[in-house]
Structure 1
């Protein structure tokens, strides 16, 4: 039996999503992080957004799926006055429900220093909150 030493690396960065709903592809930022902290190593990458009104999804991008996701979220969570949470823009309460549907984190396998994503999968920040245009994302790698 061999033993390996586990290590943990973490980093945050900010990005601006603007004052409109957004699905922002984070895949290249994740890849750059792993190239720096985990070259050739196996482990887990956790992507976390420490906000009560945003989430992380693993979806296809560039073929309309990201726009479809935002459109479906608008149907499921309309920006109207039905929400009890009422500060901010009209309908802002829906933004606080979003993380119940799109979790604020994703944990992905890392093999040989690269995310083991499917062919069409990307890591995406989902943000429906038009009141908070700046988001923080935390990337953490745990591996051997």
Structure 2
């Protein structure tokens, strides 16, 4: 039995050294283009200084999140990873970004999201956010959509809650 799946690479130009980018619409667009009714969408960030999270995309909350994590791992702290003279084989433009790696480890870098009736199975206030921790940069998220079977809803149907 062959299980249909779809692979896509989402390219994102990030802004700021710590910034949350809403990518929910990009993920939902993949589901719609693929005509998957029931399935699973796996998203994996391709960088060690980004994270993928599911949370509310509200500006003041995002500022609180930034303050919280930068308080846990302050960029100005003396991190061993930032002592470039101690490391070997690094490029001349190597950033001092230990804090970004540490925050990424706390947040995580992949999400598995159900697809239900042709829609991402997320709550009303939930958004998929790519968290840039060492930008601005060009970033990539690998998306794998697996069709687990079941019909897609009719075009124009509103059988599930929209995010």
Work out whether the TM-score is over 0.5. yes
Residue 74 (structure 2) pairs with residue 78 (structure 1) = yes
Choose which of 139, 143, 147 in structure 2 pairs with 1:139: 143
Dislocated runs of 4+, deviation >3 Å? 87-90
Unpaired stretches in structure 2, ≥5 consecutive residues: 85-93, 150-163
Partner of 1:11: 8
Unpaired stretches in structure 1, ≥5 consecutive residues: none
* CA distance, structure 1, for counterparts of residue 95 and residue 74 of structure 2: 12
Rg larger in structure: 2
Partner of 2:102: 97
Report the Cα offset of residue 54 of structure 1.
Answer: 0.6
TM superposition score normalised by structure 2: 0.77
Specify the SS of the correspondent of 1:18.
coil
In the alignment of these two chains, the number of paired residues is: 138
Superposition pairs for residues 121-132 of structure 1, below 5 Å? Answer: 121-130=126-135
CA RMSD after TM alignment:
1.8
* CA distance, structure 1, for counterparts of residue 2 and residue 44 of structure 2: 24
Cα displacement string for residues 76-113 of structure 1 (whole angstroms, at most 9, x for unaligned residues): 110014211115444x1111112211111010111011
* CA distance, structure 2, for counterparts of residue 45 and residue 9 of structure 1: 9
Relative to structure 2, which stretch is displaced further, 93-102 or 53-62?
Answer: 93-102
